[in-house]
Amino acid sequence: MYLIVVGAGSIGTEILSVGATSGHEIVVIDRDRERAERAGREFDCLVLHADATDREVLREAGADRADAIICTTEADPTNIMVLLLAKELGIPSLISVVQDPQHTKVFEEAGATTLGNPQRLIAEHLYRAAERPSIVDVMHLSGEAEVFEVMVTEGAPIAGRTLLEADTAGLLNEGVLIVAVERGEAVLTPRGETEIHAGDVLTIFSQAGITPAVMGPFEDGRKRRG
């Protein structure tokens, strides 16, 4: 894969770090000289100290053979301008950070895959981790829907019940589906007769997202405050 990364700030640097061992060819563009030089010292990649909103800079970066471009600057106007130029130049995969949620539609209309404001996402993740320690990981889908991992706690209403028993008891809300059960080194495909144990990590799809009603069966309510 040939990848162009626009911006060598905190996000761009993390992408370079992840890609450093991938064996793929990566080019980074940053108009800040200090950041560009630092990226050049730390990573084995081509670095251009230039303005990526210039079509010729993207050509110099290898737009004609790039498989993807990732825009990571803190300015939405800059990111969208670069993406539009990249689209004109035929780069097939367009990816960008979006700082202001109100701009998301503009990016999507340009054909970009987007990631919301990273600082906001991190803040939400940390807040949720404090609020619901049993949640292991979360992936947002369209609307309110989410896929998340949760560890079943001791004393949780679902612990010691089969999925059929849990459903009969009304523990599983409508729109909630248990996708997988991780128990130690084993990953189980959940069936009606699958019994849920405390300590199991469940992968769950919830149409309504993570709400107290959805989480209730998997946590010991006596241990929650508020």
Domains of the chain: 2-116 (3.40.50.720), 132-223 (3.30.70.1450)
**CA dist 207 → 9, 11, 87, 105, 164 (Å):** 35, 30, 34, 22, 20
- pLDDT score of 168: 93
Residues in contact with 71: Cβ distance below 8 Å, sequence separation at least 6, in sequence order: 6, 7, 52, 78, 79, 82, 83, 95, 96, 97
- pLDDT score of 123: 67
Q: Tell me which H or E stretch contains 57.
A: helix 55-60
Q: Tell me which H or E stretch contains 131.
A: helix 118-131
Q: What is the pLDDT along the chain (226 residues), one digit of tens a residue?
A: 999 999 999 889 888 888 877 778 999 999 999 999 999 999 988 999 999 999 999 999 999 999 999 999 999 999 999 999 999 999 999 999 998 888 989 998 999 988 776 666 666 666 666 666 667 777 777 678 888 899 999 999 999 999 999 999 999 988 999 999 999 989 999 999 999 999 999 999 999 888 889 999 998 765 444 4
- pLDDT score of 225: 44
pTM strictly above 0.85: no
What totals of helices (H) and strands (E) does the chain contain, helices first? 8, 11
Alpha carbon 115 to its chain's center? 7
Q: Cα(121)–Cα(123) distance, rounded to whole angstroms? A: 5
- pLDDT score of 142: 67
Tokens representing 176?
């909630």
Strand partners of residue 137: 149
